[in-house]
Structure 1
Amino acid sequence: MKIEPQEFCSDRITMNYSKIFRMLSIRWIIGSALMVFAALGVVQHSGAASISVLAVVNGTPITNIDFEERRNFLIKTTGIVDNAETGEQIDKDVLQMLVDDIIKREEGMRIGRGMEEVARQRADEIIDISFSQHGENPNDVLKRLGIDRSFAEQKFFTDVLWASTVQTRFAEEFANVQNEAVKELERVKANARKPQIDLDEIVLVPGPNRTMQQTAEVANQMVAAIKKGADFGRIAQQFSVAGTSQESGNVGWVVLERLPDDIRAIVENLPSGTVANPVQIDGAVVIYRVNGIRLNGNADPLESIVRVGRMILPVEAEDLESRKAAANTVFGAIAEVKTCQDLNRIHEGYGSSSDFDFGEFKLAEFSPLLREILLPLGINEMSDPINYSEGIVVFMVCDKAVPKLNLPTQSEIETRIRNRHFSVLSSRYLAQLRRKAIIEYKDG
């Protein structure tokens, strides 16, 4: 997420699962009743609007309520643009997601007996982690976003159960992960001083309701949304078919020379924090983001985590002389400032409606302009006064954690390898199940 100098930090949310089985039981009962009316396509909901059946998958109905809740969840958690140009494709994607979720859950229940409870607990953890911010209660965040927790639970329960199902179904392919990780860790240690890059990815593939061209158009819309502040990780969680979707799209640190030539050509010259334009690779459309770069065994300074304070002297006048006068006022006021507490007192005295605490972020996450301003600053060092639309602004670094060059653990490498296997096997497995499924779409 790019943080522009002039904007107030938006919520940084991530994703959790609890009452899921009770919810699934209730939904099964409701679903059984709906199946009686599914052929009609509409069910009257007592005292309220009618419930429409949009599709039936292996006898399980998908209603307009399911659709609207999932669509709302998708828009609110990813920040993708919903307008006349994108709305139709979003509708198609949401309905396909719901169809696939039913297929995945059914297969998970068939193969993974005994996995349900563990999947439910893990999904709960994902929601609590992902929808927490600065210690805020995730239920409060969900309520503010207008997201029903039970629908979020259903989505993440399905994701976790499906991941377990794929690993169970293809156990032989995953059997050698530990040995592969040992060899990979040896290569990492041997190449520690070679150029390395920390990558995120979103992998999109065409589907029953989306051609390759449409998939490429969706990818372009995602990149545009990410550059405007949409969260890369949440989009990966929702859309990416890669195993890394469970890690918010994070591939991790890789030695640059070990990347395939076509991928290396895309990412090797990108600065930290940059999102590449979508590219078609092996029948998929892939979006890469560079999180960090290491040269000669040294950590990238843009990996530093900084907490930033922002003092604002509100200025409504737009003429240059008024702005110069305001800047001179600020220069005088900050002359004796030594700490963020000092700067905060001045900020409060100016009566700005914005908080002084700008937030804590990796330097690579800021926009290029603000990144250039903050990079050379140490703790309790501030920028010169800067002219922004809301007034005269001074930034100060209140805390800064310089990264250490830590090699990945064997466990982290095992996860990375499992994700690689999952990316290939999951898509193939789901395509087989789609062909076997009995899917009936209702008109309208």
Structure 2
Amino acid sequence: MMISTLKKLLVLLWLTLPVSAMAQIGIVATVNGKPITNYDVEQRLLFLQYATNIAITDANRERLTNDALQLLIDDMLKTNAAEDAIPDLGALLLPQVRDLIDQNFGTDTKSGSRVISDLGIDPITVQIKYLGDLAWSNYISTKFASRFEKVDTQVDDELERIRINASKPQLQLGEIILVPGPSRTLEQTAELAEEMVAAIRKGANFAEVARQYSASGSASRGGDIGWIIVDKLAPPFREALADVENGGVSAPVLVDGTIYIFRRVAERKDGLADASQSRVWLARALLPLDADATEADRLELAARLRRDTADATSCDDILA
């Protein structure tokens, strides 16, 4: 029987432990016959703390531990579903997983895995998380391939919509969407949202928090949802963003049992007609000059260039 990439990663995760720690490992859950241990949960908890900058305290440890377990279960379910549908997918994705870890956590002198390891976090824990995200994305793309065939038509429709609304105010936004789950009530989810906002306002990376926690499909993009016409936002969202400056984050917004957090990235007050979004076209004028030209030759040529371009009002004038 073929051993899945996820199972191999879990085995490697346990084999890296010292003998004394192995004796303390216990199984806390199973997913399709694959065990999740207390060590897996503790490592995911440490990674959550690092990635979100939410400090683990006596008050929130139990809730965050439950979150870590639920996220592990979600990752395993996504990876299992994808590997069942697409053989060897996990092995094919591992190089991409490592690249993502390097991009998000690496430095000029250290790989992402080394940075994480130096913090006392097992890199395999992070690989399992990113493998789940990428595997699920590939699974969805494959499963609904026929729907994606209509993308060109949808793009044309979207371009037409943008043209019609070209002069309307727009905001570039990021989102984090939180929903209660089996291990987290709505009240606990609201507490988590407040902790997230506080951490982000103190410097935590919004995109990484979104990747870890957001229930939205935008999570894999760090919560990025691009430019949104302000009038198209639901009234509670417009109200929450009204006093938020570019680069700032909104307070949590509760709508129909779901909690939303927005980051305001940028603004187009006049939509695509905003002068601040205009393109600037440049032209460069060059005149030949010998390498051994004298200083007088250089000054004379510079004066000629100024005379020739004195009346130019466009790039075309210079090119002419």
- Amino acid of the structure 1 residue aligned with 2:10: R
| Offset, 1:171 | 3.8
Q: Find the counterpart in structure 1 of residue 282 from structure 2.
A: none
Going from structure 1 to structure 2, the CA distance change for 1:280 and 1:55 (only over 3 Å counts) comes to: same
The answer (yes or no) to whether the contact 2:52–2:205 under 8 Å persists in 1 is yes
Q: Assess if the C-alpha contact under 8 Å between 1:54 and 1:62 holds in 2.
A: yes
Deviations 1:86-109 (A, max 9, x none): 111101101111122222222111
How far the C-alpha of 1:29 sits from its partner, in A, is 8.9
CA change 1:45–1:59 in 2 (3 A) is farther
Work out the CA distance in 1 between the residues paired with 2:118 and 2:18. 26
Q: Which residue of 2 aligns with 1:356?
A: none
Native 8 Å contact 1:45 1:51 kept in 2? no
For 2:144 and 2:212, how far apart are their aligned partners in 1? 23
Amino acid at match of 1:96: Q
The corresponding residue for 1:298 is 275
Report how far residue 134 of structure 1 moved: 5.2
Q: Output the CA distance in 2 between the equivalents of 1:67 and 1:29.
A: 15
**1:200 pairs with 2:179:** no
Which of residues 8, 27, 31 in structure 1 aligns to 2:10? 27
Find the counterpart in structure 1 of residue 227 from structure 2.
253
More helix by percentage: 2
Secondary structure of 1:56 counterpart: strand
Instruction: Tell me if 1:63 matches 2:37.
Output: yes
Superimposed CA distance per residue, residues 319-372 of structure 1 (whole angstroms, 9 cap, x where no aligned partner): xxxxxxxxxxxxxxxxxxxxxxxxxxxxxxxxxxxxxxxxxxxxxxxxxxxxxx
RMSD: 2.8
Name structure 1 gaps, 5 residues minimum: 1-20, 35-43, 301-444
What aligned pairs does 1:95-244 form with structure 2 within 5 A after superposition? 95-133=69-107, 136-244=110-218
Asked if structure 2 preserves the Cα contact closer than 8 Å seen for 1:219 and 1:278, the reply is: yes
How high is the TM-score relative to the length of structure 1?
0.56
2:53 to 60, 74, 79: 79
Letter in 2 for 1:280: L
Q: Distance in 1 between matches of 2:261 and 2:105?
A: 24
Q: How far did 1:191 drift?
A: 3.2
- Whole-angstrom CA distance in 2 between matches of 1:26 and 1:163: 19
- Deviation, 1:184, is 1.3
SS in 1 for 2:249: coil
Task: Name the amino acid aligned to 1:298.
Answer: A
In the aligned structure 1, how far is the partner of 2:156 from the partner of 2:101? Answer: 32
C-alpha distance 50-170 of structure 1, shift in aligned 2 (>3 A): same
Cα pair distance change 1:243/1:254, threshold 3 Å? same
Looking at structure 1, the residues matched to 173 and 9 of structure 2 have their Cα atoms a distance apart, in angstroms, of: 41
Q: Would you say the 8 A contact 1:293–1:299 is kept in 2?
A: no
CA distance in 1, matches of 2:54, 2:143: 34
Between Structure 1 and Structure 2, how many residues are aligned? 270
Larger Rg: 2
Measure the CA separation in 1 of the matches of 2:127 and 2:78: 15
Distance 1:114 1:169 in 2: 16
Shift of 1:162: 1.2
CA distance in 2, matches of 1:50, 1:86: 23
The 2-side partners of 1:218 and 1:182 are apart by: 40
SS at match of 1:143: helix
- Report matched runs for 1:385-404 at 5 Å: none
Cα contact 1:205–1:284 (8 A) shared by 2: yes
Are the aligned partners of 1:198 and 1:292 in contact in 2 as well (CA < 8 Å)? yes
Distance apart, 1:190 and its partner CA: 4.1
Deviations 1:157-210 (A, max 9, x none): 111101222333344554433321222123324433321111011001111111
* Aligned residue identity for 1:176: K
Give the structure, 1 or 2, with the largest relative contact order (CA under 8 Å, sep 6 or more): 1
The one-letter amino acid paired with 1:219 is A
2:253 aligned partner: 279
Which amino acid letter does the alignment assign opposite residue 73 of structure 2? V
Report SS of the residue matched to 2:176.
strand
Which string of whole-angstrom CA distances, capped at 9 and with x for unpartnered residues, describes residues 23-50 of structure 1?
743635999xx9xxxxxxxxx9845442
Query: Which residue type is aligned with residue 275 of structure 2?
Result: N
CA contact (8 A) 2:13 2:122 kept: no
Counterpart amino acid of residue 45 in structure 2: R
Residues 269 and 299 (structure 1), Cα distance of their counterparts in 2 relative to 1, 3 Å cut: farther
- Give me the TM-score of the superposition, normalised by structure 2: 0.75
User: Is residue 178–residue 189 contact of structure 2 (8 Å, CA) maintained in 1?
Assistant: yes
Q: Which runs of 5+ in 2 are unaligned?
A: 278-320
**Distance in 2 of aligned mates of 1:167 and 1:212:** 31
Q: Distance in 2 between matches of 1:225 and 1:280?
A: 19
Matched letter for residue 299 of structure 1: S
Alignment of 1:409-428 (within 5 A): none
